[in-house]
Structure 1
Amino acid sequence: MTPPPPPFTPTADQARELAARELAGAAYRAREPGVLERVGQWLLDRLDELITLLTAQRLGGAGGVVLVLVLVAVVVVVVRLRLGRSARTARLASASLDDTGLTAADHRARAGEHGAAGRHDEAVREWMRALVRGLEERDVLTARPGRTAGEAAREAAAVLPAAGGALADAARCFDETVYGGRPADAGSVDRMRAADDAVRGVPVTAG
């Protein structure tokens, strides 16, 4: 009976080639190629240095290849984490409170649709937009590009002090979801809806 062939053990050069192929994938090239090319080249340079060190110290064979494969795994993890940060940046860019051309009622309707579909992050964003747009429609706030949720809350609280708590809670919930990396849930959506209702219930008094 012919014994089974030994398991394939890649050489150090073959391990480096695996890393190069991983970094050359289309998924990586599609995301911020300038940055990823520099990161990939730096990591491959470190691989070359390790291979040279293993050769100089005669640490080849299975042990040396294992070390190189570990570094290959690190290459993959670092690049994938970098892609995750890129996706996060794109998500933040879509979280703007700037004028969308919609009314407060439009944003409330969209928030309700997102909430009913279980898209809690989107619902939180739309409730905050509804709240801010509602304040603009009531002339509590003047539309201003680049305004953050916290700024909107503080500026509106100066005019509607009775709504200060609801405004602060809405801004906090929005920031936790959009910038803090905490996924929203049904409770977060309820907080935003309640804050919007509370703010709408506070009348604007003449100064």
Structure 2
Amino acid sequence: MTIGPDEARRLLERELERSEYDGAHVTWWDRASRAVLEWIGSLRADGLGSPAVAQTLLWTAVVVLVAVVVLVVVARGLPRRRARLADGETGGVFDDDDLRPASAIAEDARAALRAGDWSRAVLDGYRAIARGLGERDLVPDVPGATARAIAGRAARVFPVEATRIEHAAVTFDEVRYLDVAATETAAREVLDTEHAVRTARPAHATTPAVPA
């Protein structure tokens, strides 16, 4: 099916009016999109010469239209994902089939560190913290518990390490849910925190631990 310039412009405007694109500041993507819309709107069959030229330009406009929509989705999607992370909307620390004990997870994290896989070291390093807390009955290892929730519970048991655990949780979320590439420094900090928590004596709790 062939669509005209006016219809192509209308479709793009409708796409950009969807709620997924709300709340963002004007960026160079917005300006580029507007420029494309104006260009498509300027196309008129009576000013394009031969039918062959008109058809070629029309298909070019359609390709540009699709490319702009894809680029807008990519450009707007990541900031919205960051906003969800800022609001604490993340998933669980463990995959459903991850039943490794804390010692095995920690060893996998150290192996990743030696191999230079900093992101894997961060992920397994924090998972070792979480699983270790569960094995010691300090913070219940609840399926679906988020990194921030686990850090909040752990802070009551290890107040001295609370800041480091919270920082490790933030690093975990950034790597897992924002695809941020971890650095060697970040990986070592998470593993150092895992060792500190594993070897520390828990503070006396005045209230019982509750599921994270």
TM-score by length of 1: 0.60
Name the CA distance, whole Å, in 2 between partners of 1:201 and 1:71. 62
Match of 1:43 in 2: none
Match of 1:179 in 2: 177
- Distance apart, 1:131 and its partner CA: 0.6
Match of 2:63 in 1: 72
Of 159, 163, 166, 2:164 maps to 166
- Distance apart, 1:95 and its partner CA: 6.9
SS in structure 2 of the partner of residue 168 of structure 1: helix
Matched to 1:54, the amino acid is R
Name the CA distance, whole Å, in 1 between partners of 2:161 and 2:94. 20
Q: How does 1:137-148 map to 2 (within 5 A)?
A: 137-148=135-146
SS in structure 1 of the partner of residue 44 of structure 2: helix
Q: How does 1:120-131 map to 2 (within 5 A)?
A: 120-131=118-129
- Percent identical: 29
- Distance apart, 1:64 and its partner CA: 7.3
Alpha-carbon contact 1:97-1:149 (below 8 Å) kept: no
Match of 1:59 in 2: 48
Alpha-carbon contact 2:175-2:181 (below 8 Å) kept: yes
User: Within the alignment, does 1:97 sit opposite 2:94 as a pair?
Assistant: yes
Report the CA distance shift for 1:96/1:206 in structure 2 as closer, same or farther (over 3 A). Answer: closer
- Distance apart, 1:150 and its partner CA: 0.4
Name the CA distance, whole Å, in 1 between partners of 2:178 and 2:201. 32
Alpha-carbon contact 2:91-2:145 (below 8 Å) kept: no
> Which deviates more, 128-137 or 117-126?
117-126
- Distance apart, 1:115 and its partner CA: 2.2
What are the superposed Cα offsets for residues 42-89 of structure 1, whole Å, 9 maximum, x if unpaired?
Answer: xxxxxxxx69x633x44355587456425414424644886997xxx9
Report the CA distance shift for 1:178/1:126 in structure 2 as closer, same or farther (over 3 A). Answer: same
Report the CA distance shift for 1:81/1:127 in structure 2 as closer, same or farther (over 3 A). Answer: farther
**Over alpha carbons, which structure has the higher Rg?**
1
Report the CA distance shift for 1:160/1:60 in structure 2 as closer, same or farther (over 3 A). Answer: farther
TM-score by length of 2: 0.59
Instruction: Give ranges in structure 2 of 5+ residues lacking alignment.
Output: 3-39, 82-89, 206-212
Matched to 1:97, the amino acid is F
Match of 2:186 in 1: 188
Name the CA distance, whole Å, in 2 between partners of 1:145 and 1:183. 26
Matched to 2:111, the amino acid is E
Aligned length: 157
User: Within the alignment, does 1:106 sit opposite 2:80 as a pair?
Assistant: no
Q: How does 1:8-47 map to 2 (within 5 A)?
A: none
What are the superposed Cα offsets for residues 15-47 of structure 1, whole Å, 9 maximum, x if unpaired?
Answer: xxxxxxxxxxxxxxxxxxxxxxxxxxxxxxxxx
- Distance apart, 1:140 and its partner CA: 1.0
Alpha-carbon contact 1:104-1:131 (below 8 Å) kept: yes
> Which deviates more, 112-121 or 157-166?
112-121
Name the CA distance, whole Å, in 2 between partners of 1:162 and 1:185. 25
Name the CA distance, whole Å, in 2 between partners of 1:79 and 1:138. 48
Name the CA distance, whole Å, in 2 between partners of 1:179 and 1:130. 18
| Aligned CA-pair RMSD | 3.9
